[in-house]
């Protein structure tokens, strides 16, 4: 009999790979942070002994969810300004608040709040874009959470950096610091085509090729953005990026609500991944990403929440349900984005986009043990005919009981094991008092 660190016996396991199968009465054996076996429970009990052993006979085990696009620290701006047009929201509330409050302390406290929320919702990996990314990296590593932190780039000065050269210098230093870290990766994060000019983008393309890391960027988020670019340059943003050589397998294109069939073909031919944020796009009336068309073209589509300022949560289970329902309405096809596809978009597709597809995103031997346990019992989950459909269409983040990252038990029976929830709430409420008072004063 083999001894392993952790042995998990589950009612169901949804491995994601190789297909949409659901394994009943199966177990996961985890050792030294990796999955070593997925096998029927009766066989696991005779072949393995776990130093820690847990029976989850009311649960489904799924891969840890991958939040492919967020701005973690903006959790401190959750609900600050709702039900407003995008530019009113940005110009009169969000940008003034960021200009006044964003510093290292803000990013630390906001990122910790976001990480706590994501872990409690089953997210084990997130792809971030925000200022002071070194702080977010430090907080994520301390929390034991997997993250790809964005090396932010924008043309104008902020509290973080004063020029494109300064942003890139700080980003490269951060990349070097975390080059071999087991949990933290990096990606270039030029904000958007309208906020980053050609010369810095050209340098990003060269550096991304040299370092073999992704380019994470908001693209074609709104019709206004596209129309403005055409009026100013005669080119749609994606065409300009293609001219610069940025449209490539390295590109993680966020939102993409305004796409022609030719642009979809361009992305497919160049291996672009699209990071779809359905709830944020709905709330800000930004438009609809043509997810079914993208999938039909063979494009890798992953899911993100966007920041809590525009969602207003970091709930990936809610996001994948919204993605499945919205795809059906947009395409006019009730079979579009079935339950398995939605869950794959929130797990393996996100991992593939971040260059982690061989390490996380599915529950198969050899991969890192990033695992989420979802309770599928009680009034809200009964009757249960199809566990996979139940996960997507009838489950909520309150049903996530346990979460592991690289085999470490970070959420245990709904309690965070590394993070101090009381202290996180105390600091978040202090920010709430300061930011809320200033916003009210500025808008009266």
Residue 279, pLDDT score: 98
Give the dihedral of Cα atoms 160, 165, 171, 174; nearest 10 deg: -90
The answer to whether 48 touches 6, Cβ cutoff 8 Å, is no
Could you tell me how many residues make up the chain?
444
Q: Give the Cα separation of 106 and 101 in Å (integer).
A: 7
DSSP per position, 399-430: GEEEEEETTEEEEETTEESSS-HHHHHHHHHH
The pLDDT of 419-442, averaged and rounded, is 92
Confidence of residue 444 (pLDDT cuts 50, 70, 90): low
Q: Which CATH class is domain 66-135+217-353?
A: alpha beta
The answer to whether 69 touches 216, Cβ cutoff 8 Å, is yes
Burial class of residue 115 in the structure, from the number of CB atoms within 10 Å of its CB (0-12 exposed, 13-18 middle, 19+ buried): buried
Model confidence pLDDT, tens digit, residues 253-276: 999 999 999 999 999 999 999 999
Q: Do 2-63+361-413 and 66-135+217-353 have matching folds?
A: no
Residue 87, pLDDT score: 77
Lowest mean pLDDT among 219-233, 302-316, 345-359, 427-441: 427-441
Model confidence pLDDT, tens digit, residues 226-241: 999 999 999 999 999 9
Residue 53, pLDDT score: 97
Q: Give the Cα separation of 89 and 159 in Å (integer).
A: 21
DSSP one-letter code for 328: H
Q: Give the Cα separation of 161 and 366 in Å (integer).
A: 41
For the chain, the domains span 2-63+361-413, 66-135+217-353
Model confidence pLDDT, tens digit, residues 120-175: 999 999 999 999 999 999 999 999 999 999 999 999 999 999 999 999 999 999 99
285, two tokens = 């009336």
Q: Give the Cα separation of 402 and 188 in Å (integer).
A: 32
The β-bridge partners of 388 are none
Which of 123, 118, 145, 127 has the alpha carbon at shortest distance from 188? Answer: 127
Neighbours of 18 (CB within 10 A): 8
Instruction: Give the phi and the psi of residue 79 in degrees, each rounded to 5.
Output: 75, 10
Neighbours of 40 (CB within 10 A): 12
The β-bridge partners of 61 are 13, 373
The answer to whether 26 touches 41, Cβ cutoff 8 Å, is yes
443: pLDDT strictly greater than 80: no
Over pLDDT 90: what percentage of the chain? Answer: 95
The answer to whether 238 touches 271, Cβ cutoff 8 Å, is no
E strand intervals along 90-133: 123-128
Phi-psi region of 352 (alpha: psi -120 to 50; beta: other; left: phi over 0): alpha
- Mean of the per-residue pLDDT values of the chain: 97
The reported pTM is 0.97
Residue 283, pLDDT score: 95
DSSP per position, 338-406: -HHHHHHHTTHHHHHHTT-TTTSSS--TTSB--EEEEE--SGGG-S-S-HHHHHHHH--GGGEEEEEET
The set of residues, in sequence order, having a beta carbon less than 8 Å from that of 255 and lying 6+ positions away, is: 218, 219, 220, 221, 275, 276, 277, 281, 286, 289
The β-bridge partners of 373 are 61, 402
Model confidence pLDDT, tens digit, residues 63-96: 999 999 999 999 999 999 999 887 788 888 898 9
The β-bridge partners of 60 are 12, 374
54, two tokens = 């847990």
DSSP one-letter code for 14: -
Model confidence pLDDT, tens digit, residues 368-388: 999 999 999 989 999 999 999
Find out if CATH 3.40.50.11540 is the number for domain 2-63+361-413: no
Dihedral sign of CA atoms 353, 354, 359, 361 in order: negative
442, two tokens = 């500025």
List the 400-405 sheet strands across, edge first: 34-40, 23-31, 2-13, 48-63, 371-375, 400-405, 408-412, 415-416
The pLDDT of 314-319, averaged and rounded, is 98
Model confidence pLDDT, tens digit, residues 26-67: 999 999 999 999 999 999 999 999 999 999 999 999 999 999
Q: How far are the Cα atoms of 123, 304, 337, 397 from residue 69, in angstroms, in the given order?
A: 12, 4, 20, 18
Model confidence pLDDT, tens digit, residues 171-227: 999 999 999 999 999 999 999 999 999 999 999 999 999 999 999 999 999 999 999
Regarding beta strands 23-31 and 65-70, do their DSSP bridges make them parallel or antiparallel, or are they unpaired? Answer: unpaired
Which residue's entry shows tokens 């693209």? 219
DSSP one-letter code for 334: T
Residue 442, pLDDT score: 72
416, two tokens = 């965070």
Residue 398, pLDDT score: 97
């Amino acid at each position: 009999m083999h001894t392993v660190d952790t042995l998990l016996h589950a009612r169901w396991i949804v491995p994601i790979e190789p297909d949409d199968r659901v394994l009943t009465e199966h177990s996961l054996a985890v050792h030294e942070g990796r999955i070593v076996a997925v096998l029927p429970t009766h066989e696991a009990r005779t072949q393995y002994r776990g130093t820690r052993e847990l029976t989850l006979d009311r649960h489904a085990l799924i891969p840890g969810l991958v939040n492919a696009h967020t701005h973690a620290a903006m959790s401190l701006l959750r609900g600050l300004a709702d039900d407003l047009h995008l530019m009113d929201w940005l110009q009169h509330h969000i940008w003034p608040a960021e200009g006044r409050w964003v510093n290292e302390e803000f990013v630390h406290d906001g990122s910790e709040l976001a990480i706590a929320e994501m872990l409690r919702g089953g997210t084990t990996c997130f792809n971030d874009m925000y200022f002071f990314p070194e702080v977010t990296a430090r907080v994520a590593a301390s929390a034991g959470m997997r993250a790809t932190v964005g090396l932010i780039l924008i043309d104008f000065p902020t509290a973080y950096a004063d020029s494109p050269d300064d942003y890139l210098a700080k980003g490269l230093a951060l990349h070097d610091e975390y080059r071999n870290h087991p949990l933290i990766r990096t990606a270039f994060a030029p904000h958007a085509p309208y906020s980053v000019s050609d010369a810095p983008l050209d340098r990003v393309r060269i550096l991304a090729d040299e370092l073999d890391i992704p380019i994470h960027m908001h693209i074609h988020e709104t019709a206004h953005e596209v129309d403005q670019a055409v009026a100013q340059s005669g080119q749609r943003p994606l065409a300009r990026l293609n001219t610069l050589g940025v449209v490539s397998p390295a590109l993680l294109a966020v939102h993409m609500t305004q796409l022609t069939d030719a642009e979809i073909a361009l992305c497919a031919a160049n291996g672009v991944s699209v990071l779809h944020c359905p709830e944020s796009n709905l709330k800000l009336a930004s438009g609809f990403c043509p997810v079914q068309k993208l999938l039909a073209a063979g494009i890798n589509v992953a899911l993100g929440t966007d920041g809590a300022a525009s969602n207003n949560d970091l709930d990936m289970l809610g996001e994948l349900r919204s993605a499945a329902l919205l795809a059906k309405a947009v395409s006019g096809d009730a079979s579009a984005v079935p339950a398995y596809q939605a869950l794959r978009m929130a797990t393996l597709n996100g991992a593939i986009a971040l260059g982690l597809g061989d390490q996380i995103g599915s529950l198969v031997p050899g991969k890192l043990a990033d695992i989420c346990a979802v309770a599928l019992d009680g009034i809200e989950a009964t009757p249960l005919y199809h566990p996979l459909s139940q996960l997507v269409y009838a489950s909520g983040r309150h049903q996530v009981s346990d979460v592991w990252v690289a085999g470490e038990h970070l959420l245990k029976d709904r309690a965070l094991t590394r993070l101090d929830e009381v202290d996180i709430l105390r600091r978040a409420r202090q920010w709430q008092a300061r930011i809320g008072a200033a916003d009210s004063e500025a808008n009266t």
